[in-house]
């Protein structure tokens, strides 16, 4: 029986610029990353069986170690956006300015060259190896982490404990480890059943609205297109000529037509 060796799954996330606008604590929670992986993996409402099995495996692992860049808080600002409640103003789109709600955002600013790293450890069995490699493939489809403007990409690797130690030792920034004592920053993490709950939530979003009225089709008359006249194609060169030359060409053409008759 082959010996099972512990391994580490490392996901390194980089942002296109050194700003993060997501709500909640820093660093972005493992649950937020998990949702971003699901969103990147899905094609519409569909998840492949391969991806579904890998994500279910990931949600069952213990909480990851997180190595994050050092941050400073940016300037607070407020965005005013429609409150998605047009019925409150009689359904009139011209009154959308009356239902705008303010959303206060304070971005976290950091060095974009330093990645945000998430590390899970697992036993290196055959199934675990397959799932870990599948997560690395899923990570390549990640396109955003945080709000919609927080564009990002990720790379996944499977490392030995020794390789992981070297990677973390060279990290420039704080390292957050799960705490059994309950101290430190509280971050949401996926658990068994998280993937199914996200799928149910997505399906429920598609049934929020019902079609109450379908207008009758409007008859439209289509006129028959006019027949095209009988035409001929004439080649045109790019050489210039004088008006007298054009006149001589016209006379020759007329004389040839008369002779032919």
| pLDDT tens-digit map of 184-242 | 788 999 999 999 999 888 888 777 666 666 677 767 665 555 544 444 444 444 444 45
pTM reported for the whole predicted model:
0.73
Are residue 20 and residue 124 in the same domain, yes or no?
yes
How many domains is the chain built from?
Answer: 2
121, 186: one domain:
yes
Q: Where does a domain end: 186, 205, 224? A: 205
**194 and 145 co-located in one domain:** yes
Asked, for residue 50, whether it belongs to a domain, the answer is yes
Q: Which of 85, 106, 127 is the last residue of a domain?
A: 106
Q: Are 72 and 109 in contact (CB under 8 A)?
A: yes
- pLDDT computed for residue 223 by the predictor: 57
Closest CA to 78 of 100, 101, 103: 103
> Residue 230 has what pLDDT?
45
Average pLDDT over residues 33-43: 94
Are 56 and 171 in the same domain?
Answer: yes
Burial (0-12, 13-18, 19+ Cβ within 10 Å), 99? middle
Give the residue among 7, 16, 61, 37 at the shortest CA–CA distance from 151: 16
pLDDT at 174: 94
Phi/psi for 82 (5° steps) reads -60, 145
Both 37 and 83 in one domain: the answer is: no
CA distance 208 to 204: 7
Distance CA 177, CA 117 (A): 12
Which of the residue ranges 15-19, 43-47, 84-88, 224-228 would you say has the lowest mean pLDDT? 224-228
> Which comes out higher in pLDDT, residue 214 or 68?
68
Domain containing 91 equals 75-106
- pLDDT, residue 180, reads 75
Say what the pLDDT of residue 244 is: 54
Q: pLDDT tens digit string along 90-144?
A: 778 787 777 777 888 888 999 999 999 999 999 878 899 999 999 999 999 999 9
What does the chain come to in residues? 261
Question: Does the pLDDT value for residue 151 go beyond 80?
Answer: yes
Shared domain for 80 and 28, answered yes or no, is no
Query: Same domain for 169 and 81?
Result: no
- Write the CB contacts of 7 (distance below 8 Å, at least 6 apart in sequence): 121, 122, 123, 124, 128, 129, 132, 158, 159, 160, 161
Mean pLDDT over all residues of the chain?
82
In a domain, 24, yes or no: yes
Q: Domain for residue 154, yes or no?
A: yes
Tell me, yes or no, whether 53 and 158 share the same domain.
yes
Q: How far apart are the first and last CA of the chain?
A: 102
In a domain, 245, yes or no: no
What pLDDT score does 43 carry? 87
254, pLDDT greater than 60 = no
Which has the minimum average pLDDT: 59-63, 86-90, 164-168? 86-90
């Amino acid at each position: 029986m082959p010996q099972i060796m512990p391994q580490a799954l490392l996901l390194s996330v980089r942002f296109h610029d050194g700003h993060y606008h997501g709500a909640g604590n820093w660093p972005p929670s493992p649950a937020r990353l998990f949702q971003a992986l699901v969103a990147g993996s899905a094609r519409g409402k569909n998840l492949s069986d391969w991806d579904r099995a890998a994500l279910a495996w990931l949600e069952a692992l213990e909480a990851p170690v997180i190595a994050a860049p050092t941050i400073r808080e940016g300037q607070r600002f407020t965005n005013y956006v429609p409150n998605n409640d047009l019925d409150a103003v009689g359904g009139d789109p011209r009154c959308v300015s009356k239902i705008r709600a303010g959303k206060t955002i304070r971005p976290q600013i950091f060095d974009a060259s330093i990645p945000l790293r998430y590390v899970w450890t697992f036993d290196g069995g055959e199934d675990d190896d397959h799932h870990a490699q599948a997560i690395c493939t899923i990570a390549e489809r990640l396109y955003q982490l945080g709000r919609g403007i927080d564009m990002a990409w990720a790379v996944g690797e499977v490392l030995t404990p020794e390789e992981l130690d070297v990677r973390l030792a060279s990290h420039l920034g704080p390292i957050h480890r799960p705490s059994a004592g309950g101290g430190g920053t509280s971050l949401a993490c996926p658990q068994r059943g998280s993937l199914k709950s996200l799928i149910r939530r997505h399906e429920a979003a598609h049934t929020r609205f019902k079609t109450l009225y379908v207008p009758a089709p409007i008859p439209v008359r289509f006129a028959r297109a006019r027949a095209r006249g009988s035409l001929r194609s004439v080649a045109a060169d790019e050489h210039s000529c004088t008006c007298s030359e054009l006149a001589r060409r016209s006379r020759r053409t007329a004389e040839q037509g008369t002779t032919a008759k």
